[in-house]
Amino acid sequence: MSADNILGIYKVNNRKFVGRSCWSECEDDCSTCASRIIFTAKSISESVKKAQEELQNDVYEYGYIFKNL
């Protein structure tokens, strides 16, 4: 992974959250992004848990952020 990235998490619908590896310059909604999907989750708390686990396994200079809540 690039050191200049962020783990962007966005809500797909009322039942699903998707985490993607995004460029740090990304200001738009991650749902239109072609970056790879890192995880899917069913709740905000599960998203946070998976994001924290991913941050331990990979390098994300800017951590994670919820994009469209």
Q: pLDDT tens digits, residue range 5-35? A: 888 898 888 889 999 888 777 666 555 667 7
Q: pLDDT tens digits, residue range 28-69? A: 655 566 778 899 999 999 999 999 999 988 778 888 888 875
Q: Quick one: residue 63, left, alpha or beta (phi over 0 = left, psi -120 to 50 = alpha)?
A: left
Range of the domain at 59: 5-66
Total domain count, the chain: 1
| Cα dihedral 43, 40, 29, 68 in deg (nearest 10) | 0
Strand partners, 17: 11, 41
